[in-house]
């Protein structure tokens, strides 16, 4: 891994992705496709938001993300 890797910048990108998913317009889908799309939106938002809220520790080349799920 490069010495220029910034875990806090990575976390910020995930926070931006979470916001983008949250603000994503709903495409013209109907029926079961609409339900699947909405479920995927929720999962994407949850995943990106959790990492976007993480605290990062980079130690000896190992990245540890601490995520408070309370």
Q: Where are the domains of the chain?
A: 7-66
The single residue listed with the structure tokens 């938002």 is: 45
The pLDDT assigned to 2 comes to 55
| CA 51/CA 5 separation, integer angstroms | 16
| CA 23/CA 65 separation, integer angstroms | 25
The pLDDT assigned to 70 comes to 87
Share in percent of the chain as helix, strand, coil (round to 5): 55, 15, 30
Q: From first to last of the 70 residues of the chain, give the pLDDT tens digit.
A: 556 899 999 999 999 999 999 999 988 988 999 999 999 999 999 999 999 999 999 999 899 999 999 8
For residue 61, is it left (φ>0), alpha (ψ between -120 and 50) or beta? left
The pLDDT assigned to 68 comes to 93
The pLDDT assigned to 1 comes to 53
Question: Rounded to two decimals, what is the model's pTM?
Answer: 0.82
């Amino acid at each position: 891994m490069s010495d220029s890797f910034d875990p806090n910048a990575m976390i910020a990108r995930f926070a931006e992705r979470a916001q983008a998913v949250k603000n994503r317009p709903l495409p013209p889908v109907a029926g079961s496709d609409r339900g699947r799309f909405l479920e995927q939106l929720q999962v994407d938002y949850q995943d990106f938001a959790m990492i976007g809220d993480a605290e990062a520790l980079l130690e000896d080349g190992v990245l540890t993300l601490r995520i408070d799920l309370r």
